[in-house]
Amino acid sequence: MDLLLLFLGAMLVNNFVLTRFLGICPFLGVSKKVETAVGMGMAVTFVMALASVITHLVHKLLLVPAKLEYLYTIAFILVIASLVQLVEMVIQKSSPSLYAALGVFLPLITTNCAVLGVAIINMQEEYTLMESLVHGVGGALGFTIAIVLFAGIRERLDTNINIPEALKGLPIALITAGFMATAFLGFQGLIS
């Protein structure tokens, strides 16, 4: 039950993109088409789930016994960078079609702050291995929901000719994201 609440909390209440502001770069950059948004969401979900588990183990089994906790930033980013590289190679070998679909977004996940963010939050909240995994997957699905919804709205905005010249492109996208964030504030009371 606690795990379910943690999952929903990470996905909706503390949505990574719209409430915590993690992963804004891909949110704004890769949200012009629903298809690519779905691909990005899947890739991020996969990497975040793996990163949650591995950084948790690195922290518990390596940094804490060696009393090197203050090096967590360097350790985590190295884990994530090599993980992304590994995932890239595995997908390339096992499923070339998925690899082609994700294309350039795969390497970019390294600098997606949602991934490093989830690792650091897991550490600060002292989640167990299971909780870290649930939190990582929930957060990543929250990211996917936000980016896919946002891409759907942006596809329609592109065909709308009534937008004032000055608002075209990024400004209207940001204001749209603002309204989405307002809507997500509504989840605030869901879990007390």
Partner 1 sequence: MKKLFERLYNGIVKENPIFTQVIGMCPTLAVTTSVGNAIGMGLATTVVLICSNAAISLVRKFIPSSIRIPSFIVIIASFVTMIELLLEAYIPALYSSLGIFLPLIVVNCLILARAEAYASKNNVISSIFDGLGMGLGFTLALTVLGAVRELLGTGKILNIAIMPASYQPAIIMILAPGAFFVLGILMALLNVYRSKKVAR
Identified binder of partner 1 from the candidate list 96, 103, 178, 186, rule CB under 8 A = 178
Told to check if 70 binds partner 1 by CB under 8 A, we report yes
The CA distance from 117 to 14, in Å, is 13
Determine the size of the site formed for partner 1 (CB under 8 A): 44
The CA distance from 93 to 78, in Å, is 23
CA dist 35 to 38, 48, 140, Å?
5, 20, 17
Half-sphere exposure of 64 (CA within 13 A, CB side): 9
Told to check if 154 binds partner 1 by CB under 8 A, we report no
CB of 141 to partner 1, least distance (A): 19
Toward partner 1, which CB reaches closer, 7 or 76?
A: 76
Residue 15 burial by Cβ neighbours in a 10 Å radius (0-12, 13-18, 19+): buried
* Per-residue contact string for residues 106-145; x = within reach of partner 1 by CB under 8 A: ----xxxx--xx--xx--x---------------------
The CA distance from 106 to 39, in Å, is 10
Which chain residues interact with partner 1 by CB under 8 A?
18-25, 28, 70-74, 77-78, 81, 110-113, 116-117, 120-121, 124, 164-168, 170-175, 177-179, 181-182, 184-185
